[in-house]
Structures are given as C-alpha cells and as structure tokens.
C-alpha cells in the first residue's frame, strides 16, 4: 500500500512539474499561484472566518429571549426590509451556454469565433501538403512518385492573353482532357466592393464555347464561389458535362482574425467556404480506365488561408494538385488564368495575363508522337500503391467472395459500392491522411 501511494505521489509531482514548465511557472511550487487555486482557497477561508466573527458579534449583542413572541406589527416591519442582491460576476462563456449541449465552454468554437473572430477551421491540424500524410508512409510515397511523374511529363507552360468575351476557342486547334474555369464572379463585387476588374455574370459564363475544346473523354472544374452551385450545374449541362463532384474550399483566417466578416445582402450566415463543381464528359470507369484516371487519392475538401489585400481574388493552389493527381491526361486548359497561375503542363488563357507565348503548332506537337502520347503514363510502383476499385462483374453474376450475385455491373452513376463505409460515388475522392476534425 505504501509503495502504491509513493508511486502515485511521484506521478503527480511529475505532472505538476510538466504543467509548470508549459505554463512558465518555473517550479511546481508556484503552480498554485498561477492557476489561482491558492488564492481562491485563502479567499474562501477568510470569507468564512469573517462571517463567523460577524455572527459571533451579533450573538453577543443580542441574547435570545425565552418564549419570545412577535405580533402583527413586527411582521410588517420585517417584511419591509429589503435584502441586498448578490452581484453576478461574468467569468467566461459558460453563462451563455446554460441549457445547451456544450458542457465545456473551452471547446465551443462558435462562441470562440464570436469572442475572437477566429474561425473554427483554424484549429484543424495537418492541412498543409507538406505534413498531411506524415503518419501514412505509403500514401506519402504515392503522392511523391506522382508529383515526380507529373513534373517529368509536363509540357512547357504556355499562356495567351485574350478577351474571353470575343475569343474563339476553336482557334486553339486542340481538345483538352481537363479544363479549369475560374471566372471573376459578380458576387465578389457585392462582397468586397471591387470595381477595378471585369466581373462576369452566369449568363456570360455559360456563353463561353467550352464544349468546342472538350475531348470526348474529359473533365471540367468550374469555380462557383459561395452561391453559384445551381448556376454552375446549368453551365455544365450546356457544355455537355455531367456533374460528378463538389469540391469545397474551407477558408481559414489565422493571419487576419476578425477582419473578414463580410456581409452580403443575399446571405444569412457568415460564409467561410466556396465551391468547385466537377463535371465529366463521356464514359470513364474507375475500375477499367486506370490509364486515364486515378481515383481516391485526394478528397473533396481544401483547407487553406483566405487571401488578403490585392490577392483577394486568388484561388487555392491545391486544386491543381487534385486535378493532376486524378486525371492522367496531359492536355490541361486553364480559363481565366492570371500571371500567378502560369504552371508547367497547362495552357493558360485570360484577359488579366500580361504577356503571351502560345503557338498552336508547337503546343499540339507535344501530343502527336503516338496514340497515347497525351497521357502521363504510370509506373509499376504507382500502380501498386494507388487505391483501386474492384473489377466489375456481369449482371447477375457471382460476387468476388462467392456470395449473392451482384446487382448490375459497374460504370453507371454509382457502382457496386453502396451503404455505409463505401467509397464515394462517381469518380470520387478518398479520405485525407489524418482526421480533419481533430483539434490542433
């Protein structure tokens, strides 16, 4: 018994020393003064002693009288005496959390946002590309190998300054495997009051001839901002694409808390996310078209800092990584690009570019050396590491494990995976390395 008590005391002392080191107390003896425990105990002790002394004085001044009785006049007198009300002292957010589900106010990120302006997503850790997969070595190796292959097979960056309102996309003389469209949406003019740029309505965006440069088997990523998802779906339909994914950009404000509370006449809540719509054209199956797509490597969520100042219109760079990891096609087109988005492996178009180096024949010559020259290819190691979908089976045939027959083949809008824990529908994305809802 003595050994157990000794061990518990040693552990308690080590915990106190570690806590004192983290709080900068210097020693464990000063820990009580920093946490306020000692002062609170002394204050309570002094209050009790003073109350006892006052009661003693009152007892000495007036001795109780035996068989003492009160008449109606005494009752009226004592009824007119008003006792002083205790003053309520505000200490923390727990006063406003009574009756709510938040038992611990320190974990209430909504209240913390009201108090400090720090968004809840600021406390999600391991969101950067560098440290996202540190606990998953195989996935980290897969990302590294794919980035190396993309860098080797990328074409030299080309860019063309043009007026997209009058530009003929057929003059590019090429069909693209991936098209990224990032227009200057009209909602930014309402939100930020900007007037130094051309802002596009959704009618003007849908009038772009994107369908003229989309390959029979291709994908599109359309920037929709905060409130343009419905309009974006109409654009995809007009251009001949089917919506298959919605990628969300969750914006943090670690560097500038409290200064990005922009109100829009059309919004009800504080908007801290924006969206990309992903569309597919043609027939692409995850299980059989591994030469063209590698699904389930990235997820449909981007968490990064909201741009400030003159860079307020910048989009997250991670969208390029998602596209390049997913689609193995080398013919990539970026519409509404800027000087900051010029990138190897991409043809960039936009009115905000300050220069041009695009030459049609030179660009097309990068893809006419063979029937599969427009693809990046794949190494054996990447093929072994990447997530794969099961091979499809004929309708009504036996399942891989000898169980009941599979209902239909793969390749429709869903696939053979259904129910809880199944991979995402369509081309899909996979969970990010570490859990995204863990505190910092």
Tell me the CA distances in angstroms from 169 to 214, 219, 229, 264, 335, one per residue in order: 10, 17, 24, 35, 10
Q: Is the pLDDT of residue 209 over 50?
A: yes
pLDDT tens, residue by residue, 108-165: 777 778 778 888 888 888 888 777 888 889 999 999 999 999 999 999 999 999 999 9
Give one DSSP letter per residue of 13-38, joined into a string. Answer: HHHHHHHHHHHT-SSGGGHHHHHTHH
Phi, psi of 240 (to 5 degrees): 90, 25
Which pLDDT score, from 0 to 100, does residue 221 have?
98
Please, what is the angle between helix 318-326 and helix 137-153, to 10°?
90
pLDDT digits (tens, 9 = 90+) for 241-257: 999 999 999 999 888 88
Contact assessment for residue 357 and residue 320, using Cβ atoms and an 8 Å cutoff: no
Angle at CA 418, nearest 5°, toward 412 and 420? 150
Dihedral pair phi/psi, residue 335, rounded to 5°: -100, 140
Q: How confident is the model at residue 307 (pLDDT cuts 50, 70, 90)?
A: confident
CA 186 to chain centre: 23
Cα–Cα distance, 289 to 30 (Å, whole number): 66
Q: What percent of the chain has pLDDT over 90?
A: 43
In this predicted structure, the answer to whether residue 188 has a pLDDT above a threshold of 90 is no
pTM: 0.67
Q: Pseudo-torsion of CA 115, 121, 127, 128, nearest 10°?
A: -50
CA 116 to chain centre: 20
pLDDT surpassing 70 at residue 325: yes
**Interval 386-428: pLDDT, tens:** 998 776 665 554 444 444 444 433 344 444 444 444 444 444 4
DSSP string, 70-81: --HHHHHHHHTP
């Amino acid at each position: 018994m003595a050994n157990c008590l000794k061990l518990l005391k040693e552990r308690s002392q080590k915990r106190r020393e570690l806590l004192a080191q983290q709080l900068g107390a210097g020693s464990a003896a000063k820990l009580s003064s920093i946490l306020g425990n000692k002062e609170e105990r002394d204050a309570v002790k002094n209050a009790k002693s003073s109350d006892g002394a006052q009661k003693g004085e009152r007892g000495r001044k007036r001795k109780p009288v035996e068989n003492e009785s009160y008449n109606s006049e005494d009752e009226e007198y004592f009824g007119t005496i008003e006792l002083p009300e205790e003053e309520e002292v505000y200490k923390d957010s727990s006063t406003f959390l009574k009756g709510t589900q938040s038992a611990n106010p320190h974990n209430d990120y909504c209240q913390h946002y009201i108090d400090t302006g720090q968004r809840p997503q600021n406390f999600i850790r391991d969101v950067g590309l560098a440290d996202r997969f540190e606990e998953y070595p195989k996935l980290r190796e897969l990302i590294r190998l794919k980035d190396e292959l993309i860098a080797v097979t990328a074409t030299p960056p080309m860019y063309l300054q043009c007026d997209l309102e009058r530009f003929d996309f057929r003059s590019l003389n090429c069909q693209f495997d991936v098209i990224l469209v990032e227009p200057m949406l009209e909602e930014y003019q309402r939100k930020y009051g900007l007037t130094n740029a051309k802002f596009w309505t959704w009618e003007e965006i849908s009038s772009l001839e994107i369908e003229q440069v989309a390959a029979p088997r291709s994908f599109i990523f359309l920037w929709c901002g905060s409130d343009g998802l419905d309009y974006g779906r109409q654009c995809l339909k007009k251009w001949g694409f089917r919506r298959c994914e919605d990628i969300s950009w969750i914006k943090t404000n670690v560097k500038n808390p409290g200064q990005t509370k922009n109100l829009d006449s059309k919004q009800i809540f504080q908007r801290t996310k924006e969206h990309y719509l992903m569309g597919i054209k043609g027939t692409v199956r995850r299980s059989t078209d591994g030469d063209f797509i590698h699904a389930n490597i990235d997820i449909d969520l981007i968490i990064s800092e909201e741009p400030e100042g003159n860079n307020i219109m910048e989009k997250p760079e991670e969208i390029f990584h998602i596209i390049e990891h997913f689609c193995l096609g080398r013919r990539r087109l970026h519409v509404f690009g800027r000087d900051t988005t010029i990138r190897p492996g991409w043809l960039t178009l936009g009115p905000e570019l300050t220069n041009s180096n695009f030459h049609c024949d030179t660009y097309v010559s990068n893809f006419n050396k063979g029937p599969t020259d427009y693809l990046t290819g794949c190494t054996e190691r990447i093929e072994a590491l990447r997530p794969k979908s099961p091979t499809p089976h004929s309708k009504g045939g036996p399942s891989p494990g000898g169980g009941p027959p599979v209902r239909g083949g793969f390749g429709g809008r869903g696939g053979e995976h259904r129910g809880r824990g199944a991979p995402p529908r369509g081309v899909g994305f996979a969970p990010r390395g570490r859990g995204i809802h863990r505190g910092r």
